[in-house]
Structure 1
Amino acid sequence: MDSAKDEQIQATTDLTTAPIGQALLLFALPTLGSSVLQSANGSIDAIWIGRLLGTEALAATTNGNLVMFLLTAFVFGFGMAATILVGQSFGRHDIATARIVTGTTVGAFVPLSIVIAIIGWFLAPDVLTLLGTQAEIEPLARAYLQVTFLAMPAILMQTILMMTLRGSGDAITPLIFMAIAVTLDVILNPLLIMGSGPVPALGIAGSALATAIANYVSLFAMLAYIYRRDLPLRLRGAELRDLIPDLTILRTIFVKGLPMGIQMIVVSSSMLTMMRLVNREGVDTTAAFGATQQLWTYVQMPAMALGAAVSAMVAQNIGANLWERVGQITRIGVIYAVLLTGALVILLLFADRQAMEIFLGSNSPAIPVGRHIGRIATWGFVAFGVSMVLFGTVRANGQVVWPLIILFVSMYPVRLGVALGLHDMLGVDALWISFPVAMVSTLIMASILYLQGGWRKSSSMDLVLNEHRAPVEEISQTAEGALPCNARAPAPPAVLPR
């Protein structure tokens, strides 16, 4: 490849120079696609298990899925911290440090995930006892959970690799291999559950095994692709020593990642508490709320994707010290969040009956209840979308504690306060009103944090990156050799002016 073409590819893949609106959208859409695939995969797996094995088997999977969610939530936090460090390194054109961050993250979490898998296999019965699993479904739940633990190394490592790739500006490669994992999982589920020819019928364990096989195949295929395409974060030769964790970077990933992982737990535990309150209102209300929850999963996806995209783009621009672009990225992200989430909210309000019928059937008495819930609460996700963009921005400079505090206040004192405090006055509607009230309070606090929080000041991440920063000559040579390889990053087709 000649020099001119190198420069062209580098220009079109550099998130510090690409047109913000176009790059942000092209970065967020593949991330959104990955989220949709994950959610659809879970729904399809549930359909296979429910139809082929019955309701008891479907109930048994809840325990395994909860454990998998909790573990993935923690890894998400650490992966997000690694994403920010990789993004800031790319913004500085310091690919060597980005590889050290990637090597440290992988080198630390591969052995950890293997240990989790082994311990989880043997302690699965104790975990189920701790979760209060009913005796009649315990054997099914144990078989499913044990194999789920065996899948965890692949699932966790794919999560880490996909997030670090996004930090480098590559959102397409994670989408490709998420699609491969989901496709294999969907195909293998009925085959391994029911058996066919030489393949034995494994029942509920077959569903978990399908997930394991799909994720291991996808993981190794992604690694082969990374090395074949010579993507910037691959480690070769002497660089393989970067798999020995750098303690300074590892400490930073842990300190910054733990609060982000805890955020997922806070949100989930709050929802479990709300579920207990909803269960007191009767079967129809519980069914309606469950259907609404399924729909809300998809309504919030654009906000989550935009938050991740904004965080990756802002991290690169902070690394390049382009603070004016940081503000522009945030403003455009807010506009996209309002437009995309607002469009879904409006669509759902106009097609709420048809949407409810997908989950409840056409004659369910829960449909009017579900429509009522949606009309009261769904609009709050517009505020949620803006909050995710603001949180994505401040996290990109290492501010992770205040978002955790804000979410805790919104989920517990605010949401539960409204749900319980207004119940005598408003009845069950107090539960539904608590959702948009909590989301608006999150937006207010997130806006104060963004405008007045002091998150723009130099963070501990700067110190870590400066400590590992390569000499200027080495950075220049590395950037020239590595950045063009990131040909999957979102970018317009033409050369962009610097």
Structure 2
Amino acid sequence: MNTTTSLTAGPISRGLIQLAFPILCANILQCLNGTVSAFWVGRFLGEAALSALTNAQSLMILLTGTSFGIATAATILVGQRMGVADVAGARRVVGTGVVVFSALSIALAVLGLAFAEPLLIMMRTAPEALALAIPYLRVMLLALPSLYLLAFVMSLLLGIGDSKTPLRFVVLSVSLGAVFTPAFVLGGAAIAGAGVVGAAVASCTAQALCLAALLRYLYRRRHPLCLTQEDAKNLRVDWSIARELVRKGIPMGAQVLVVSLSSVLMVALVNRFGVETTAAYGALLQLWTYILMPALAMAAAVSTVAAQNVGARNWRRVKHTAHLGMGYSFAVTGTIVAIVYAAESHAYRLFLPAGSPALDIASHVNSIVTWSLAFMSIPLVLFGVMRAAGAVMVPLLVHILSLLFVRYPLAALFLDRWQADAIWWSFTISAMVDVLLAILYYRYGGWHRTEGEQSSVR
């Protein structure tokens, strides 16, 4: 069964759109899992429950950032090998990636279970939210290995240009979650895990069933990346590949950690203003995630196309891909931002109870922050291209500077004077710093030589 797609020839524009559209649909549907939880929890269990969800999910991403980096590095390596039709090399990457990724996810789950409660307390989670956030987080951490194995498999499929198969199984996962979530959240004492914890149980159950169905599907169709008994030798750590995974994966994982740490720090500041402000912030996070969906999808598509062309050493196509992706991303994201402002408060009302004081807070924050997301689409695409070329350190340093040396210190410094507005304006200012530095490095940096001078594709 040949499900791979060569992206080293043909119209780049058509290839990007054909790849990005299924990714966008899959990303939207994956976010619906979180949105469904936020809807049922926020609307029917109240602001404290939604605040618990916001705190727990921020901490969850922080604890799992490194695993995401390893998965992304494996995707890039697979894409580079498929760019030169090296299926055997791609399978070696899969085998090493499965072993390394599984070990990391288990270790992070254990660490998370040990330190979840102290970290939530350090974040100044409100007492009424803390009691709900702790059991929610524990359920998610127990299911962590299977949750991220699903993400890993889908990332590998994307790396070989197959964005349609992940979309089919995301539809399955979301459909199951839509059925399970209200039953587990509102089911009452008769259903184990009812309440906020029920949202975690529903999400984990849906994604575990989706993983089993996806693996069965791939093996029944003899997918070229599936490891069979004859490939058992590949299900081990190939240290040359492991070094590449670590060299690329640790900085990319660190980027996720930096973003997540910034998120945790900002939530800790937001928590100072009470559960209504935290609930408003949680509702807007849901909205902002959807606004950035097209940019994230285009960044993933650009990275896949660029990785295959880096493997083929076609640098003109790599740069043309970056320019097209950046233009599409900014245009689409900007249009969505304009629609959100035209709709005013209708979007985030889905996540907050009618008449809640959080509605006015969310409207105020939306007016300050949301417009900057159109510009944030630019570094998402540029960093996707740079990572595909092996340039992983500068994007990490840019994130560290903009998020940890601009966003959080700026908010903390002016918190007493501007109150919560210091937090909201720090988002906008740090976003502009991120955009400026990304463009400067793309234009004047040596990112295109990072991988071109190496022979990592074997």
Residue 67 of structure 1 and its aligned partner are, at CA, apart by 4.7
Q: 1:203 aligns with which of 153, 169, 194?
A: 194
Change (3 A) 1:412 1:72: closer
* 3-state SS of 1:464 partner: coil
2:258 is aligned with 1:266: yes
2:443 maps to amino acid: L
Which residue number corresponds to residue 341 of structure 2? 349
Partners of 1:53 and 1:203 within 8 A in 2: no
Q: TM-score, normalised by structure 1?
A: 0.81
2:162 is paired with a residue whose SS is coil
Residues of 1 paired with 2:179 and 2:333: CA distance?
A: 32
SS in 2 for 1:131: helix
Residue range with higher mean Cα deviation, 453-462 or 326-335:
453-462
Give CA-to-partner distance per residue, 1:418-462, whole Å, 9 cap, x none.
Answer: 445667887755443332322222111111211222111253994
1:255 aligned residue? 247
| Equivalence for 2:116 | 127
Do structure 1's residue 414 and structure 2's residue 406 form an aligned pair? yes
Which residue does 2:21 correspond to in 1?
Answer: 29
In the alignment, does 2:228 pair up with 1:239? no
Cα deviation, 1:119-142, whole Å, max 9, x if unaligned, reads 46xx83653244327777777655
Q: For residue 76 of structure 2, what is the amino acid of its counterpart? A: I
Percentage identity across paired residues of the two chains: 40
- Which one of the candidate residues 173, 181, 185 is aligned to 1:189? 181
Residues 1:437 and 2:426 are matched in the alignment: no
Q: Which residue of 86, 101, 107 maps to 1:94?
A: 86
Q: Which runs of 5+ in 2 are unaligned?
A: none
How far apart are 1:243 and its partner, in Å? 1.0
Show the 5 A alignment for 1:35-184: 35-49=27-41, 64-114=56-106, 119=110, 124=113, 127-132=116-121, 143-184=135-176
State how far apart, in whole Å, the 1-side matches of 2:242 and 2:168 are: 28
Say whether the 8 Å CA contact 1:148–1:212 is kept in structure 2: yes
Q: Retained in 2: the 8 A contact 1:194–1:202?
A: no
Aligned residues: 454
Which moves more between the two structures, 261-270 or 356-365?
356-365
Quote how far apart the aligned CAs of 1:230 are. Answer: 2.7
The answer for the alignment partner of 2:213 in structure 1 is 221
1:304 to 296, 304, 312: 296
Give deviations 1:105-164, integer Å, cap 9, x for gaps: 0122334445655x46xx836532443277777776554444323311211101111111
Q: Determine the C-alpha separation between the residues in 1 that align with 2:418 and 2:58.
A: 32
Partner amino acid, structure 2, of 1:27: L
Letter in 2 for 1:91: G
What is the CA distance between 1:316 and its match in structure 2?
0.4
Q: Which has the larger radius of gyration?
A: 1
CA contact (8 A) 2:67 2:104 kept: no
Given residue 222 of structure 2, which amino acid in structure 1 is its aligned partner?
Answer: D
User: Cα 1:240–1:349, aligned 2, differ >3 Å: closer, same or farther?
Assistant: same
Return 352-361 or 83-92, whichever deviates more. 352-361
- Taking the aligned partners of 1:201 and 1:413, their CA distance within structure 2 comes to 44
Task: Report if the CA contact (8 A) 1:151-1:215 is conserved.
Answer: no
Tell me the CA shift for residue 235 of structure 1: 2.1
Extract unaligned runs of 5+ from structure 1.
Answer: 470-498
Counterpart secondary structure, 1:321: coil
Contact 1:75 1:159 (8 Å CA) reproduced: no
Normalized against structure 2, the TM-score is what? 0.87
1:379 to 371, 374, 382: 371
